[in-house]
């Protein structure tokens, strides 16, 4: 029903007018993810049904452990920890989780009608715009330190107390979670007695935290406060 409603809206308003409103994009994205989730689950159901038909047709023994099955059929006897990362059922569950989160945003349709929640929601929309402005400086600083720390520690893979900064992925995760205080100082400590590299790591990591947490995040909070005061 919701899909039919969106199709009618696109037909009546036209694609260009439909895309202008962010609520429409949110609805379209939510419904698309739901459809993709159901499609992936249906594909998993079809594959499992084919495997079940093979078993019903060719396997006489009730205990499948005593039977040699083709790989594509035996796969459906495995526990979840042996499933492929690209298994349609796993993809379906991940997409469904995202769609459920987005579906709750529809409650926000009625909030502007309330004198208490309306300004909060409008200021939330303005806050998102402030965050996008802020992201330009944030990404520039973040990338500079991420690449610098990776270049510093990439040669010490296996020679650290944790894998932080030894790969680009680990550098990203360590610096991102340090914004929320979830990274440790031991991330820059080496098992070798290379104090020069270690000291540079301490300095860079310290400068990053001061720049990002003390300066930039507080600047973002000030921007958000200013936007809220204007709307209020």
Please name every residue paired with 160 in a beta bridge, in sequence order, or none if there are none. Answer: 190
197 by Cβ neighbours in 10 Å (0-12 / 13-18 / 19+) ranks as middle
CA distances from 24 to 10, 88, 109 (A): 9, 28, 11
Tokens of 205: 């990591």
Residue that has been written with the tokens 């993809």 in this structure: 91
**pLDDT tens per residue across all 232 residues of the chain:** 889 998 998 898 888 888 888 778 888 899 999 999 999 999 999 999 998 888 888 877 666 666 777 888 888 888 888 888 889 999 999 999 999 998 888 777 777 777 777 777 777 777 777 788 788 888 899 999 999 999 988 888 888 888 888 889 999 999 999 888 887 888 888 888 888 888 998 999 999 989 888 888 888 888 888 877 877 7
Supply the pTM of this predicted model.
Answer: 0.66
Contact 183/176 with Cβ under 8 angstroms?
Answer: no
Contact 205/100 with Cβ under 8 angstroms?
Answer: no
Rounded to whole angstroms, the Cα distance separating 181 from 188 reads 15
């Amino acid at each position: 029903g919701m899909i039919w409603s969106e199709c009618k809206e696109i037909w009546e308003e036209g694609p260009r007018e439909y895309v202008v409103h962010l609520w429409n994009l949110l609805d379209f994205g939510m419904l698309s993810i739901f459809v993709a989730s159901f499609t992936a689950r249906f594909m998993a159901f079809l594959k499992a049904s084919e495997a079940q038909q093979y078993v019903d047709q060719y396997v006489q023994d009730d205990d499948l452990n005593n039977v040699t099955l083709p790989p594509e059929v035996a796969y459906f006897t495995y526990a979840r920890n042996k499933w492929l990362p690209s298994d349609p059922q796993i993809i379906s569950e991940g997409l469904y989780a995202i769609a459920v989160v987005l579906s709750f945003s529809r409650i926000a349709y009625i909030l502007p009608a309330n004198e208490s929640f309306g300004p909060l929601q409008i200021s939330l929309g303005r806050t998102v715009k402030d965050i996008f402005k802020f992201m330009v400086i944030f990404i520039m600083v973040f990338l500079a330190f991420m690449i610098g720390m990776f270049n510093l520690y990439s040669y010490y893979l296996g020679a650290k107390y944790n894998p932080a900064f030894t790969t680009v992925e680990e550098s990203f995760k360590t610096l991102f979670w340090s914004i929320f205080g979830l990274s440790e100082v031991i991330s820059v400590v080496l098992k070798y007695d290379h104090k020069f590299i270690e000291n540079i790591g301490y300095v860079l990591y310290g400068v990053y935290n001061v720049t990002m947490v003390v300066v930039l995040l507080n600047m973002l909070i000030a921007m958000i406060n200013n936007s809220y005061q204007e709307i209020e």
